[in-house]
Amino acid sequence: MKAAKIPPDAPVTLEPMPLGELPATPKVSIATICFNYGRFLPECLDSCLAQTVPADQIVVVNDGSTDDTAQVLDDYAARFPQILPIHQRNGGMCDATNTALAASTGDVVLLLDVDDLIAPERIEKVLDALRRRVDGRIPGWTHNALQRFSEGRPHLGLAPYYPGGRAPEGWLAAETLKAASCPVLALTSGLALRREVLLAIGPLDAHRVMSQDLQLCTAATLLSPSAWIPEPLTRYRVHGAAATKGAMVSAEHVKASRQRAARFDTWLRAQLERRRPGASSLWRPLEDQGGYLWLSFLERWLSGQGKDLGLLRRALLHPDTRQGPRQYRIYYYGGLLPRSLFVSYSELIFGASPLKSLLRKLLGRT
């Protein structure tokens, strides 16, 4: 997407990319990737094939799986011509997502993790949402609620969590730039984007530390208004293979998170410059972002360099922290605890346990 010619003395601002109405019968693609999740693939594909508005194309990238993924995928593709199988060497989540999106030809592309399922009306509801104006504007993408479930436990609560139960929607660029953080917390399986928005975003940073949902959500927020669909149109599977183990309680995990923040910062600045020269100045430096300060403190502390109370104080008093979600503030203040207690505290927050389920119920998050 070419940057518009703007007078050099004009103030740097962002405006939504122009979008027309969807075609009367838009072509729809579903894009998913699979790495050693062959056991989940049939149920996932069955949910894609059971839509009230059929998908024109279901792109599945087998990212170098060593289980039975290739056999299962090829068997489905032989029976259902709308399924496009792509087999490639393992490149990681974002690399495989780039492949899936590049192969998707739909006017609208729904994303889906292969261990998740979609409700029969997801395509229908996404198209309806993309046709309604939000704050007088045509949305270029949607995000929907997800119903968490596990084996034998069909209702583990909705995700993502938004205080008050109301998710942000509309043209959120100013809010995103002010906070240096996207207010939409959508997971991959809750995202759907118009082709024009995907083309404007371009390839994701395919480094293995990166996550595709953060890149897509933030870039889309700075390009186009979004529409929120409160119905849980996706079933998000919670299972041992996907559980986060040790996250944010070891220097290794924290270092990876900080590196991811730095790579994301570079990628997003390039996105803004493609939109308009000088627009990267609208995104605050990493050293002026509360979350990055916290990660820097945590990495030093957990790697044995001691507790930098000055850095912790900057993170706790930063406007991003004080004005951000309550759960972030609760977590950051754990930095005041002794290290052994902080580790247990973090495992409670990021892990899965009966106590955490009870706390979710008490906080009204189920």
> What is the residue-wise DSSP string for 194-211?
EHHHHHHH-SPP--TT--
pLDDT reported for residue 1 = 43
Is the pLDDT at 245 greater than 60? The verdict is no
Whether 207 contacts 93, CB under 8 Å: no
Residues 129/167, Cβ–Cβ less than 8 Å: no
User: How far is it, in rounded angstroms, from Cα 338 to Cα 354?
Assistant: 24
Average pLDDT over residues 16-42: 97
What's the pLDDT at 86? 98
Residue 293, both tokens: 């300060």
Q: What is the mean pLDDT of the chain?
A: 90
pLDDT of residue 351: 60
> Residue 162 has what pLDDT?
85
Q: Distance (Å, rounded) from C-alpha 216 to C-alpha 256?
A: 20
Most confident of 222-231, 234-243, 246-255: 222-231
pLDDT of residue 4: 47
Poorest-confidence range of 114-123, 229-238, 356-365? 356-365
56-80 confidence digits (pLDDT tens): 999 999 999 999 999 999 999 999 9
Residue 330: pLDDT band (50, 70, 90) is confident
Say how far apart CA 169 and CA 172 lie, in whole Å: 7
Query: Which residue, 5, 11, 1, 62, is CA-closest to 35?
Result: 62
pLDDT tens for 154-169 read: 888 899 988 777 899 9
247: left (phi over 0), alpha (psi -120 to 50) or beta: beta
pLDDT above 60: residue 81: yes
